[in-house]
């Protein structure tokens, strides 16, 4: 059976009703085909248990994984305050996995998953983990990359640092929801970002865990205050405390530069990151633009398409950094429009905004934790 995909999206007063309506739409479009896997992107303003209750009420035992996001992305563009459900049917098998202790022990979670990927003879692995809690760098180091994998760190309420994850009937925070794929399915993966150095260079002089305390010996907020002209104390409050994500740091790591972005600015002027950064390394201020993000989308689509080796893409899962939503506020849905220009409007699209992205190809390198990227996973028949 050829790969068949359908999408539903709904807004409602509560998560159960939104989940029910979105799933009903998707099932109607799927027709007589039986879903093998479901992706759910739900507004963090809904209760996770309500959302999964509405979805599983119609899908039964179909493997599903999902995460919270400020807005979903579909073929129709940005869908805020809603539940999006994408269903895939075809000659492949999927199995969901719930790892509730990710935030307490990311390394152990990664080791367990690496073992399961081998045991289950998975061809691909997808996961969504908590974006506020848990060390995704440790997860990536322990996971290895025996198979192509795609992951994202779920976003949610930046004030309360609350997000949630879903796998099968289970939901929670601080967790990881994963899906192993086997059978006749091929996935092409592409990733790129639209942020570039603008000349300002700093030395990271003090960091502790997820907190970057000082740049060039001064509180991080003071450094940004001098650069952008807003008083340092204002960076500790919205909107600046969250808009700091628009101005990430490019950090030298070996012979490459990795992007590391603040989730928010704390009251003491430190930056709360979701990946530790080391003392003594050089960092460069990065600035994004709509034009460079548009190029990044095209680049990611091209990478993913090449990996399909001529096969026709039937579905696109897109995981976009939250900074893109901020940057493209006046042009919402730009990412979707460019993907459709390249692939055509008939390719269904499902996705959401995240606080980090993870990708790995078939090479023996560990998966990479990314900030500020768009990750595109294209699905095709094998």
Q: CB neighbours (10 Å) of residue 331?
A: 12
- 252-256, 288-292, 324-328: least confident range: 252-256
- What is the pLDDT, as a whole number, of residue 146? 80
Question: What is the spatial distance between Cα 200 and Cα 325, in angstroms, rounded to a whole number?
Answer: 24
CA dist 345 and 358 (Å) reads 26
Confidence of residue 349 (pLDDT cuts 50, 70, 90): very high
Q: Which of the four pLDDT bands, split at 50, 70 and 90, describes residue 363? A: low
Which pair of structure tokens corresponds to residue 124?
């691909």
Quick check: 364 pLDDT over 60? no
pTM across the whole model: 0.97
Nearest to 148 by CA among 173, 172, 176, 180: 180
Residue 152 has pLDDT above 90, yes or no: yes
Confidence at residue 362, expressed as pLDDT on a 0 to 100 scale: 66
**Proportion of the chain above pLDDT 70, given as a percent:** 99
Where helices occur in 229-274 by DSSP H, the ranges are 240-243
**What value, to the nearest 5°, has the Cα angle with vertex 126 and ends 169 and 30?**
65
**Could you read off the pLDDT of 255-307 as tens digits, one per residue?**
888 999 999 999 999 999 988 999 999 999 999 999 999 999 999 999 999 99
The residue to which tokens 């995909």 are assigned: 5
Residue 288's H or E segment, with its range, is: strand 282-288
pLDDT, one tens digit per residue, over 72-98 is 999 999 999 999 999 999 999 999 999
Q: What is the DSSP letter of 312?
A: P
Average pLDDT of the chain, as a whole number:
95
Q: Is the pLDDT at 145 greater than 80, yes or no? A: no
Cα dihedral 225→71→372→234 (10° resolution): 10
Which tokens in the block code for residue 296? 């990044």
Distance CA 353, CA 365 (A): 26
Q: Which domains does the chain have, with CATH numbers?
A: 4-192+291-381 (no CATH), 195-287 (2.40.30)
């Amino acid at each position: 059976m050829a790969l068949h995909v359908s999408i539903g999206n709904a807004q409602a007063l509560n998560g159960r009703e939104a989940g029910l309506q979105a799933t009903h739409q998707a099932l109607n479009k799927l027709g007589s085909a039986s879903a093998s896997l479901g992706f759910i992107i739900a507004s963090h303003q809904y209760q996770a248990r309500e959302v999964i209750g509405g979805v599983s009420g119609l899908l039964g035992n179909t493997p599903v994984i999902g995460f919270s996001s400020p807005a979903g992305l579909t073929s129709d563009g940005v869908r805020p305050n809603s539940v999006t459900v994408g269903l895939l049917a075809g000659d492949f098998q999927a199995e969901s996995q719930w790892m509730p202790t990710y935030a307490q022990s990311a390394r152990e979670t990664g080791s367990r998953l690496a073992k399961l990927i081998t045991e289950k003879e998975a061809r691909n692995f997808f996961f969504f983990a908590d974006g506020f809690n848990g060390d995704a760098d440790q997860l990536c180091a322990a996971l290895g990359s025996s198979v192509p994998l795609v992951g994202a760190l779920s976003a949610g309420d930046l004030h309360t640092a609350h997000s949630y994850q879903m796998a099968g009937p289970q939901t929670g925070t601080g967790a990881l929801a994963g899906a192993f794929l086997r059978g006749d399915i091929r996935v092409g993966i592409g990733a790129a970002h639209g942020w570039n150095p603008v000349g300002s260079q700093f030395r990271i002089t003090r960091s502790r865990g997820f907190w970057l305390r000082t740049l060039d010996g001064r509180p991080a907020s003071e450094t940004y205050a001098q650069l952008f002209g807003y008083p340092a104390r204002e960076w500790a409050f919205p909107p600046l405390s969250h808009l700091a994500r628009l101005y990430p740091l490019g950090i030298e790591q070996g012979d490459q530069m990795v992007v590391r972005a603040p989730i928010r600015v704390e009251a003491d002027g430190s930056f709360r990151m979701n990946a530790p950064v080391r003392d003594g390394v050089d960092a460069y201020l990065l600035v994004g633009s709509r034009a460079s993000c548009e190029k990044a989308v095209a680049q990611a689509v091209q990478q993913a398409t090449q990996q399909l080796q001529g096969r026709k893409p039937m579905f696109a899962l897109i995981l976009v950094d939250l900074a893109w939503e901020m940057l493209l506020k006046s042009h919402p849905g730009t990412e979707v429009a460019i993907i459709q220009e390249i692939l055509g409007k008939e390719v269904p699209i499902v996705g959401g905004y995240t606080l980090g992205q993870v990708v790995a190809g078939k090479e023996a390198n560990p998966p990479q934790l990314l900030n500020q990227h768009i990750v595109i996973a294209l699905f095709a028949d094998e």
